[in-house]
Amino acid sequence: MKIPALGAVALLSVTLVGCAGSADKSAPSTTTTTSSAAAASATPAASGPSYTTQTFPCGGDSYPADYQCQIVVIDPIDPTTDGFKETVKQVVGELAKDNGGPNFLAGIWDDPDAAQVAIDYINTPNKIPFEDQKAQNPGYEQHNIAIYQGGLQCPSQGAAACIPSSSADAFTLAWFPNAAATAPDVGQWSGSGETWKP
């Protein structure tokens, strides 16, 4: 199913990386978590996936001041089958519990080096062009598994700011939002998404 307003997801993708535009330059927080619930799979796991998060104030002009942007790395996760979607949903559900609700933004990765490109850009904005940073990690787009956007209605890229909303379509997961349709193993999900609320 195609996600509504996929242009807004592209804006979110850039904004997660461009969170540095925020006036609040407080240090990001980092957390490593192992989910307490079993991951959904053909063979149930003893425990859920392990993941790390770094949280930044979204800031800038596009998002409400109280919204948090999170960079999440899930390990292990296998994005070559659609079973990865349940793992992502499990982690986003855990983040919603930790955040006190579903209103937040998260870029979800399966590779710490690729996620570090986004983190480095957030921490050092405008020092190295983002395209140059992405070029240092050729798999960058392929490792950005999903973007979760919770509680926001965002116009298409380049338009006005996102506004808070409790509408069902204000909670979305975009799968491989930066990967090309021809990307090895994951291209089949490129540009797809769903309305989903943890």
Residue 63 has a pLDDT of 78
Domain locations along the chain: 6-36+48-195
Name the residue type at position 69.
C
Tokens of 122: 């957030």
Residue 44 has a pLDDT of 37
Residue 159 has a pLDDT of 53
First to last CA, the chain: 18
Q: Which residues pair with 175 in a beta bridge?
A: 146, 192
Residue 22 has a pLDDT of 39
pTM of the model: 0.74
Q: Based on C-alpha coordinates, what's the Rg of the chain?
A: 16
Separation CA 56–CA 65 (nearest Å): 11
For 60-84, what is each residue's pLDDT tens digit?
677 777 788 899 999 888 888 888 9
Ranges of the chain with pLDDT below 70: 1-47, 59-60, 125-128, 130, 133-134, 156-160
In the chain, what's the furthest Cα-to-Cα distance? 46
Residue 126 has a pLDDT of 65
